[in-house]
Amino acid sequence: MIKRLNPLYIGLLSLFAVASMSAKAMQLPDFTELVEDSSPAVVNISTEQLPSTAQGQPQLNPNAKELNEFFRHFFGQQPLDKQPKRKQRNSLGSGFIISADGYVLTNNHVIDGADIIHVRLNDRREYEAKLVGTDKRTDLALLKIEAEDLPTVTIGDSDNMKPGQWVLAIGSPFGFDYTVTAGIVSALGRNLPSDNYVPFIQTDVAINPGNSGGPLFNLDGEVIGINSQIYTRSGGFMGVSFAIPSNLVMSVVDQLKNEGRVTRAWLGVIIQDVSSDLAESFGLDRPSGALVSRVIPDSPAQEAGLIDGDIILEFNNEIIEQSSELPYRVGGLKAGDVAKSIIYRNGEKMELSFTLKNYPSEPDQLTKTQQQENRLGMVVGEISDDMLRRLNIRGGVVIEQVIGGSAARNGLQQGDVITMLNGTSIDSVERFLGSVSAIPANHSVPMRVIRDGYPMFIPFKIVE
C-alpha cells in the first residue's frame, strides 16, 4: 500500500529546501562589485622586440647590398641595411596601476628583453612605458607611463591572509582581456625549488599564460599578491598557482622608485628544512627551524661563528618554523643591520649576533660551490665533520640544491649525501666534479646515496 503525503507537508519541505539553498548561496561571495571597482586599474602589457638571427644580430635583407644602389639612385631611399627594422609585437602579460601618476607593476619575466613596452588600459587607452627598474630575485618590474588621474588599486596586508580565504584574479590569460577567476588561499609561505627567497601565496585560482603580473585581490578589493607562477605538468593550469605577497612587493617597489635597483641583506648560508627524522637525530623536541648545511666563506654567518649543522630557531626576534621563512626575514633587512639569532648546537641553545652585508653581486663571492650548475643539475657542498660522524662514513658531498635536469629526473633531493659515483669514492667536491666530467652522456652509472641515514644505490643517467 502506497502512503500519500499531505500536500501541505510537501510544500513545507520544498520551502525548507529552497531556504536552505538560499542560505548556502548567501554564504558564497558576490564578486561583481569588486570586479567593477578594480578592473579599471588592471592593464594589459605587450612588448616589441627586434627580430634577431641565431647570433643575436638584427636580421638584414639578404639582397640588401645589391639593392642599395637601386633604391638610392631611383627612389632616394635609405639603403635597406640602414632602414629601421620591423619589430614583432607580443602580448605577454598583465599588470596593475599603483599610483595615479602612472606607476605600474608587473612581473620581470613579462618584460624581460623587451625593446618597447606597451601598457593598455581597461578603456583601451594605450601608452608606451618606461622601465623604472627590475628585481629578478623577486620577479618584479616597475614601469612608468606618462598620464595623470589614473585609476589605482588599493594595496592590502598579505600578512593578514589565512588559508581558506577567498581570493580573485584579474588578467589576460591567452590574450582574453580582463578575465576574472576566483578561488581560495591554499597555503602560505611556500618555498619553490627555483627561488627560496619569496614566501609565495599558494592558491587554486585559475592562472594561465597572460595572467603573469596581474593582481590577486582579497574580498575587500585589496591587492594582496601578484600572480607569478603555476605548477603544471601539462603546460596549463592544474589547480596550483603562486603569487608574490604584497608586503614583499611594496618593499621592492620603494627601492625601485628611489634607487632604480634593489639591495638586500645577506647572511651567507645554505639551509634545508628540519624533518622529523633530523629533529630526532639532533635532539630537538619537534621539527622546526632552518638547518645550516653550508656556511659560505667570508660571510656574515661565518664571521659570527655559525657552523655547518647549526639550526637557526629564531632570527631577529622572529621564530623560524620552516627554512623558507629565513631568506625572507634576512632580505627584509639592510646591510649593516645587526640581527640577533637563537641557534641550536650540540643539544643546547645559544645566541649569536650577525652584522649583515649586501647580497653579493659577483658570483665568485658566493663561491663556485653555490653557483655550480653542473651536468647533474645540482649544487653540492663539502660534508661537515659532524655529519660524517652521525652517518659513520669517511667522506662524501651533500646536495645543497637541486636545480633540475638529471638530478630532478632521478629523484635526488636536497640533503642527500653522495658517497660514490661510477665506482669512484667521493671525498670532496673537487673529486665529485671530476667524476661527473668523466661520465658519458645518456649512459647509466651507479651512484651511492645516503638519505635519512639509509644508504642505497641508484642507476644514474645524464640526459643531454
The CATH number assigned to the domain holding 80 equals 2.40.10.10
Residue 20 lies in a domain: no
Residues 197 and 178 in one domain: yes
Alpha helices in 213-361 (DSSP H): 246-259, 276-282, 300-304, 325-331
| Residue 412 pLDDT | 86
Residue 208 lies in a domain: yes
Residue 189 lies in a domain: yes
| Residue 67 pLDDT | 43
Pairwise CA distance, residues 139 & 198, whole Å: 9
Domain limit, last residue, from 363, 395, 430? 363
Residue 308 lies in a domain: yes
The pairing of beta strand 154-155 with beta strand 222-230? parallel
Domain limit, last residue, from 343, 363, 383? 363
Residues known to be catalytic: 109, 139, 212
Residue 304 lies in a domain: yes
Question: What burial class does residue 414 get, using C-beta atoms within 10 Å of its C-beta: 0-12 exposed, 13-18 middle, 19+ buried?
Answer: buried
Residues 178 and 224 in one domain: yes
pLDDT tens string 404-424: 677 777 788 888 899 988 888
Residues 306 and 397 in one domain: no
Residues 346 and 418 in one domain: no
Residue 103 lies in a domain: yes
Residues 176 and 236 in one domain: yes
- DSSP tag of 365: G
In sequence order, what DSSP letters do the residues of 420-442 get, joined into one string?
A: EETTEE--SHHHHHHHHHTSPTT
Residues 222 and 285 in one domain: no
Query: Looking at the 3D structure of the chain, how many domains does it have?
Result: 4
Residue for grid cell 623604472: 132
Task: Spell out the per-residue pLDDT of the chain, length 464, in tens.
Answer: 555 656 655 555 566 655 555 555 557 889 999 999 999 999 999 998 776 543 444 444 444 444 444 334 433 444 444 545 546 656 579 999 999 999 999 999 899 888 899 999 999 999 999 999 998 888 899 999 999 999 999 999 999 999 999 999 999 988 888 999 999 999 998 876 555 578 899 999 998 888 999 999 999 999 999 999 887 666 667 888 999 999 999 989 988 988 888 888 889 887 878 888 888 888 898 999 998 877 888 889 999 999 988 999 999 999 998 887 888 788 878 888 999 999 999 889 999 999 998 877 644 444 444 444 456 677 788 887 778 888 888 889 988 777 667 777 778 888 889 998 888 888 888 788 878 877 777 777 888 899 888 888 888 877 66
Domain hosting residue 351, numbered range = 265-363
The residues that bridge with 290 in the sheet, in sequence order, are: 273, 312
Residues 237 and 291 in one domain: no
Question: What burial class does residue 240 get, using C-beta atoms within 10 Å of its C-beta: 0-12 exposed, 13-18 middle, 19+ buried?
Answer: middle
Residue 286 lies in a domain: yes
Alpha helices in 59-211 (DSSP H): 64-74, 108-111
Residue 272 lies in a domain: yes
Residues 247 and 308 in one domain: no
What's the predicted TM-score (pTM) here?
0.66
Residues 441 and 387 in one domain: yes
How open is the CA angle 184-329-167, to the nearest 5 degrees?
10
Q: Residue 139 is placed in which grid cell?
A: 620577479
Instruction: Tell me if 227 sits within 8 A of 200, measured CB to CB.
Output: no
Residues 76 and 120 in one domain: yes
Residues 235 and 316 in one domain: no
Domain limit, last residue, from 322, 342, 363? 363
- Residue 348 sits in a domain whose CATH number is 2.30.42.10
Residues 168 and 235 in one domain: yes
